[in-house]
Structure 1
Amino acid sequence: MEPTEEKPSEAVDIYRDTWVRFLGYANEVGEAFRPLVPVSLVWSSYAVSTAYVTADAVDKGKKAAAAHRDEPGMGQTTRVAVAVADTFVWQALASIVVPGFTINRVCAATLHVLGRTTKLPLPVRKWTTTAVGLSIVPFIMTPIDRSVDYLLDSSLRKLYRHGEKQE
């Protein structure tokens, strides 16, 4: 796709449009490698993902503050708080909690099934489990993102919209 004249004026979101986005996948990689690495490395991968989620939420709060700087007092504060909370909750669920749990369970099941049904040596079972965990990442992201959107649209975001109507 060739860039249009409008593209340069659009701001690049470093948390969604650049390599930085891959930091949000650190915990998925950590979970896939859980059979092979010390658990402290797995938890470190969660720290990286959490830092990414927090930075994205702060960034969206700053953007909301800039976009609504002319609004009086609580209007701007509310919009900033909503932007930060919505981004943090969405990212925490879609980037950390749900995919981390999913990959953890798929890997645990894979290791268990391989142990029960094959005579492969343990190192081979562990590497196979890691390969399965890594290979499912591209397939689970879109369904997870859509599910988290549905969950928030059906719950938390109704509170935001309800609050906007009363202002």
Structure 2
Amino acid sequence: MGSLFRLCQRSGRVIQSNGATAGGASQLRSRHWLCTGRHCGQELENDQDGRPKKVLIETGDALIWQTLASVIIPGYAINRICHHSQLYFKKHYRRFPILAINLMTVGVGLISIPFIVHPIDNGVTILMDLTYRRWFK
């Protein structure tokens, strides 16, 4: 998200959010998506000589790709990895305190992130090529 904030700040948009609460995190995600769409739309408008239909199609493409590849699919994948690792730890490490099991589960979830990024990105790109990009281009 850091690169996106730099892009939004470069476009004159100031982002302020308190990520300490759930509401702050939700606002941060909403602003992330809005800035992605705004930035992509502005850049495409400059590149496409302001053709509104082309700008809307490209902005929609970017927003859908970002939503799938950055939020929905990784969130679900990490949730399932953590769920099944916690079940495994509870079954095979019964003598460990629940805090230790929870910490091991979090560790497995964090360790899994680098391994799921590229397959998800490639899969979403293929999905977009077969659906949205074929329908609108």
**TM, length-normalised to structure 2:** 0.78
Secondary structure of the corresponding residue to residue 123 of structure 1: helix
1:73-95 superposed Cα distances (whole Å, 9 cap, x missing partner): xxx11111012100110000000
Question: Taking structure 1 as reference, are residues 16 and 83 closer, same or farther at Cα in structure 2, changes over 3 Å only?
Answer: farther
Between the aligned residues of both structures, percent identity stands at 24
Instruction: State whether structure 2 residue 119 is matched by structure 1 residue 147.
Output: no
Distance in 2 of aligned mates of 1:137 and 1:94? 13
Instruction: State whether structure 2 residue 4 is matched by structure 1 residue 15.
Output: yes
Partner of 1:55: 35
Unaligned runs of 5+ in 1: 1-13, 19-39, 162-167
Aligned residues: 121
Distance in 2 of aligned mates of 1:131 and 1:78? 45
Which of 63, 76, 79 matches 2:54? 79
Partner of 1:108: 83
Query: How much does 1:47 deviate?
Result: 4.9
Distance in 1 of aligned mates of 2:55 and 2:62? 11
Unaligned runs of 5+ in 2: 8-20
Q: Where in structure 2 are the equivalents of 1:39-50 lying within 5 Å?
A: 41=22, 45=25, 47-50=27-30
Partner of 1:68: 48
1:94-135 superposed Cα distances (whole Å, 9 cap, x missing partner): 000000000001001111111111121100000001111111
Secondary structure of the corresponding residue to residue 135 of structure 2: helix
Structure 1 vs Structure 2 CA RMSD: 2.3
1:30-73 superposed Cα distances (whole Å, 9 cap, x missing partner): xxxxxxxxxx74x864653443233112211111111122x6xx
Question: Taking structure 1 as reference, are residues 122 and 106 closer, same or farther at Cα in structure 2, changes over 3 Å only?
Answer: same
Question: Taking structure 1 as reference, are residues 80 and 55 closer, same or farther at Cα in structure 2, changes over 3 Å only?
Answer: same
Between stretches 54-63 and 128-137, larger displacement belongs to: 54-63
Question: Taking structure 1 as reference, are residues 109 and 46 closer, same or farther at Cα in structure 2, changes over 3 Å only?
Answer: farther
Contact 1:110 1:129 (8 Å CA) reproduced: yes
**TM, length-normalised to structure 1:** 0.65
